């Protein structure tokens, strides 16, 4: 690839993993999560959570994967016990 054709691809290992608590649910699997650092962000359920019908409710502790380029959105990857 030449200099102009380079595309930056992120893997799951490149995402920032944060833990937090679900504070509000919005439609379509979107939720508002407050992290332990005090940051509030919007996150959506990952496909695996939807596939296995894992319920995530307000007050649940979750693990969120956040892109280093846009820290206001995330992906809920795991529901903690």
What's the pLDDT tens digit per position in 44-78? 999 999 999 999 999 999 999 999 989 999 999 99
Say what the pTM is. Answer: 0.83
Domain, as residue range, for 18? 3-79
Q: Please count the residues of the chain.
A: 81
Q: Which two tokens stand for residue 11?
A: 């893997």
Interatomic CA distance for residues 61 and 10, integer angstroms: 25
Instruction: Return all residues near 5 (Cβ < 8 A) that are at least 6 apart.
Output: none
Number of domains in the chain: 1
Per-residue pLDDT reduced to its tens digit, 5-37: 666 677 767 899 999 999 999 988 999 999 999
Give the CATH number, domain containing residue 67: 2.40.50.140
CB 33 within 8 A of CB 64: yes
């Amino acid at each position: 690839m030449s200099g102009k054709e380079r595309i930056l691809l992120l893997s799951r290992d490149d995402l920032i993993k944060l833990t937090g608590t679900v504070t509000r649910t919005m439609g379509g699997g979107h939720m508002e999560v407050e992290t332990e650092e005090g940051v509030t962000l919007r996150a959506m359920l990952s496909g695996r959570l939807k596939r296995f019908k894992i319920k995530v409710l307000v007050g649940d502790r979750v693990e969120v994967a956040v892109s280093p380029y846009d820290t206001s959105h995330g992906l809920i990857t795991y529901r903690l016990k």
